[in-house]
Amino acid sequence: MQSMRLVILDKYDDVSVWAAKYIRRRILAFKPGPDRYFTLGLPTGSTPLGTYKKLIEYYKAGNLSFKYVKTFNMDEYVAIPRDHPESYHSFMWNNFFKHIDIDPANANILDGNAVDVQKECDDYEKKIAAAGGIELFVGGIGPDGHIAFNEPGSSLVSRTRIKSLAQDTILANARFFGGDLSKVPHQALTVGVGTVMDAREVMILITGAHKAFTLHKVIVFNDTSLYR
Ligand code: PGA
């Protein structure tokens, strides 16, 4: 049976330090090397920013290397240019990858401009499998409870695919597009709930009072699912 552990901390910074330390500990304990890559699933959003800052600090202090780490990002908007400042490619490069020693070839992000979107999604699943599956999937959660862009109602066994964003998510993300709803992409490619749940371990970061009710629902759902 899968078990859930809930770690409650007082402040956003405490969450960032805890999460970054945990990721470092898992990578170091794995002893990655040329024949043994650690696979890490990663999110975008405001929540993980502090965690990325801490991980960059560890790298700069010589306490952590990403040389033998492969990353798989959760999602990417459809049909905004890769170098758009709000694309998840830009987010990951600016906030994390360009500051660490990861090999760009090992930093995987879905291509939201792929001509054949379904093939792109299927290939992503194959790439994850070829990398040996994901060791630790780090994620965030939306105020409507979504994980990656799996909006409410997504199947719990869903795989990587194209999804339309829920109106709540479009509203939440408008802050990144000058508050202009029409500029927020309405579709994204996203790993599925099943893709996330296949990971050896999942760490979801939840901060902010606006997500308290969402967290409450997560705990109640997990509690009742134990008795099924
Ligand atoms: P946030 O986004 O970290 O910016 O709140 C999380 C999400 O929507 O998954």
- What is the per-residue pLDDT across 153-175, written as a single tens digit (0 to 9) for each? 999 999 999 999 999 899 999 99
User: How close is the Cα of 36 to the center of ligand 1, in Å?
Assistant: 31
Ligand 1 site-directed mutation target among 12, 44, 74, most atoms within 8 Å of CB: 44
* pLDDT score recorded for residue 221: 81
Phi-psi region of 187 (alpha: psi -120 to 50; beta: other; left: phi over 0): beta
Tell me the backbone φ, ψ of residue 162, rounded to 5 degrees.
-90, 140
Q: What is the mean pLDDT of residues 119-137?
A: 98
**Each residue's pLDDT tens digit, 46-72:** 999 999 999 999 999 999 999 999 999
- Catalytic, 201? Answer no
- Catalytic, 144? Answer yes
Residue ranges lining ligand 1, Cβ < 6 Å: 45-47, 140-142, 146
Q: Is the pLDDT of residue 226 over 80?
A: no
Beginning with the edge strand found earlier in the chain, give each strand of the sheet holding 75-77 in spatial order.
75-77, 187-190, 161-164
Q: Is the pLDDT of residue 228 over 50?
A: no
* pLDDT score recorded for residue 154: 94
Average per-residue pLDDT for the chain = 95
Atom of ligand 1 nearest to the CA of 139: 9
pTM (two decimals): 0.95
User: How close is the Cα of 31 to the center of ligand 1, in Å?
Assistant: 31
Ligand 1 site-directed mutation target among 12, 51, 141, most atoms within 8 Å of CB: 141
* pLDDT score recorded for residue 3: 84
